[in-house]
């Protein structure tokens, strides 16, 4: 806002510098005296100021922008004609010697009367064009700022919606996992509920920020993996590796959880051995995350998870890290591999 005000002030100064210099430029080479300066400089400058600000503050907004072009042209034509008439009458009353010189100039090879009138009309049209240019530029800047503000608001609203959408999805999936433990191992179910409460506290109170430290996100992921390991049998081996030192990286929260959820959903079998490998590395401001798991496709009637997690992730990546991320999934030798690389700066 402050910068826009400075631009406006500077634009007005440039316009008036041009308007002040214009009469001198148009009268270059002619004899100058006090009467001529008043008649040919200060009076036209005063009329130019009226034309400029009358259009800038009133006429452009009322007629030009609403596309009432005929009224706009007629009014400005009338104003310019009035000022030409007033200038001639002021010269006739107060500056008769100038009129006398003008007549002598016409006989002596100076600028003819018609040419002088044309120059005067041109000098009055200059502030009109300047006011249109400045007002249009100011309007464009304001419109562009409003468009960007609306786009930012839309982006924030969509991200907030995705964030709120992820929380119940995560919560319901976790409850389903705990429910499966109630009959098998009540003690583990109690421990899982306690762990889930910590995870939900993080999701509710820590992830409302635009970015969180990568170390906090890693701590959340570790707790979630440990929670998920409680519900799988000994036939499933889970390995994970995360940066052990503080990286100083700030990242949008809850970007990786859907990939881990997906691995436990599709990479675990009750009858076959399976393995899940989760790896995260960082290099400078770049985070590389990968998950590899066995692939046990769910039946079409299996509704344990609506698939909203991965859809949510892809949308958030496009909104938050457009052009700064790479997301790939491949299936090889009945193993499903997903990699996500994010440039955080």
CA dihedral 158, 161, 163, 168 (to 10 degrees): -160
CA separation for the pair 272, 275 (Å, rounded)? 10
| DSSP H helical ranges for 267-341 | 308-320
Q: Which domains does the chain have, with CATH numbers?
A: 2-147 (no CATH), 183-343 (3.30.565.10)
Strand partners, 275: 237
Per residue of the chain (345 residues), give pLDDT as tens. 545 566 667 766 776 676 666 555 555 555 455 455 555 677 778 888 899 889 999 999 999 999 899 999 999 999 999 998 888 787 666 656 555 555 555 444 445 556 667 777 888 888 899 889 889 988 888 888 878 876 766 666 565 655 555 556 667 767 776 776 777 778 777 777 877 788 778 877 777 788 899 999 999 899 889 888 877 888 999 999 999 888 899 998 888 988 998 898 889 888 899 999 999 999 999 999 999 999 887 665 554 444 566 788 888 888 889 899 999 999 988 899 999 999 998
CA separation for the pair 254, 312 (Å, rounded)? 10
Relative to beta strand 286-294, strand 325-332 is unpaired
Exposed e or buried b per residue across 229-257, where buried means at least 16 C-beta atoms within 10 angstroms of its C-beta: ebbbeeebebebebeeeebebbbbbbbbb
| pTM, to two decimals | 0.55
DSSP 317-330: HHHHSTTSEEEEEE
Q: DSSP character for 285?
A: T
């Amino acid at each position: 806002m402050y910068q826009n005000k400075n631009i406006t002030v500077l634009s007005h100064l440039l316009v008036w510098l041009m308007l002040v210099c214009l009469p001198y430029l148009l009268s270059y080479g002619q004899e100058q005296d006090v009467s001529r300066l008043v008649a040919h400089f200060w009076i036209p400058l005063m009329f130019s100021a009226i034309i400029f600000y009358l259009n800038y503050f009133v006429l452009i907004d009322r007629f030009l922008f609403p596309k009432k072009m005929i009224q706009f042209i007629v009014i400005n034509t009338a104003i310019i004609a009035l000022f030409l008439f007033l200038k001639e009458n002021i010269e006739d009353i107060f500056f008769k010697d100038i009129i006398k010189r003008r007549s002598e100039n016409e006989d002596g090879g100076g600028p003819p009367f018609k040419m002088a009138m044309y120059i005067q009309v041109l000098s009055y049209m200059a502030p009109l064009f300047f006011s249109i240019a400045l007002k249009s530029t100011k309007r464009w800047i304001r419109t562009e700022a409003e468009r960007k503000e609306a786009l930012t608001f839309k982006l924030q609203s969509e991200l907030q919606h995705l964030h709120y959408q992820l929380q119940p999805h995560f919560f319901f999936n976790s409850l389903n996992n705990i429910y499966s433990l109630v009959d098998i191992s009540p003690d583990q179910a109690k421990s899982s509920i306690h762990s889930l409460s910590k995870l939900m506290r993080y999701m509710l109170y820590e992830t409302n920020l635009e970015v969180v430290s990568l170390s906090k996100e890693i701590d959340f992921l570790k707790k979630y993996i440990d929670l998920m390991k409680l519900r799988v049998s000994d036939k499933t081996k889970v390995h994970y590796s995360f940066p052990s030192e503080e990286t100083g990286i700030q990242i949008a929260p809850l970007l990786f959880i859907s990939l881990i959820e997906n691995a436990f959903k599709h990479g675990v079998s009750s009858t076959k051995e399976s393995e899940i490998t989760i790896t995260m590395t960082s290099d400078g401001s770049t985070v590389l995350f990968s998950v590899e798991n066995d692939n046990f496709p769910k039946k079409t009637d299996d509704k344990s998870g609506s698939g909203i997690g991965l859809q949510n992730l892809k949308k958030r990546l496009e909104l938050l890290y457009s052009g700064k991320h790479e997301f790939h999934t491949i299936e090889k030798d009945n193993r499903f591999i997903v990699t996500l690389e994010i440039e955080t700066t």
